[in-house]
Amino acid sequence: MAPEPQALRIGVLNGPNLNLLGRREPGIYGSTTLDQIEERLSAVGRELSATIDSVQSNDEGGLIDAVQGMSEHVDGFLVNAGGYTHTSVALLDALLAVDLPFVEVHLSNIHAREDFRQRSLLAARAIGTIGGFGALSYELGLRALVFHLRRGD
């Protein structure tokens, strides 16, 4: 019998306006609420022996504080920075400062959107990016992050 995998802790960062999921532009972002996404992540986390700790903030400083505070007790981050994806050097700096792996996720395919949304300041330092699959992007990102952490590369 294979040994139980080591329990992991994953921090999930949700940026501005993601608290409005389910009613915010459903043609782009879908009808799934952030609470539903977080419930699904918790279920997948249990399957993967990972605990999920989620935070949502409309404030850039709140996200930075979350990165710094959570870094002491998580193994990596799943990040949907929302609009800060395209603008926040400070959030990138916080993620780099704590030196933990992170996966960037997006509900929509940012590369098929407006020009200003096609550039991510986080992507070049993320271990990977997943987008365009709606709420499933979070689950795919979580699975990829856990796989990365367990493989150790």
Q: For residue 138, what is the domain's CATH number?
A: 3.40.50.9100
Predicted model pTM: 0.90
CB atoms closer than 10 angstroms to residue 103: 26
Instruction: Report DSSP state, residue 107.
Output: S
Sheet of 128-131, strand order: 50-56, 8-14, 76-80, 102-106, 128-131
Structural domain contains residue 1: no
- The answer as to whether 3 is a domain residue is no
pLDDT at 153 over 60: no
Residue with tokens 């700096």: 93
Is 106 one of the catalytic residues?
Answer: yes
Could you give the CA distance from residue 65 to residue 152 in angstroms, rounded to a whole number?
Answer: 27
Catalytic residue among 73, 84, 86, 106: 106
Q: Is 84 one of the annotated active-site residues of the chain?
A: no
Q: Taking residues 120-147, what's their average pLDDT?
A: 94
In a domain? residue 98:
yes
pLDDT in tens, 39-90: 999 999 999 999 999 999 999 999 999 999 999 999 999 999 998 887 689 9
Task: Tell me, yes or no, whether 41 lies in a domain.
Answer: yes
pLDDT for residue 135: 94
Range of the domain at 115: 8-151
User: Does the pLDDT value for residue 97 go beyond 70?
Assistant: yes
Domain count, the chain: 1
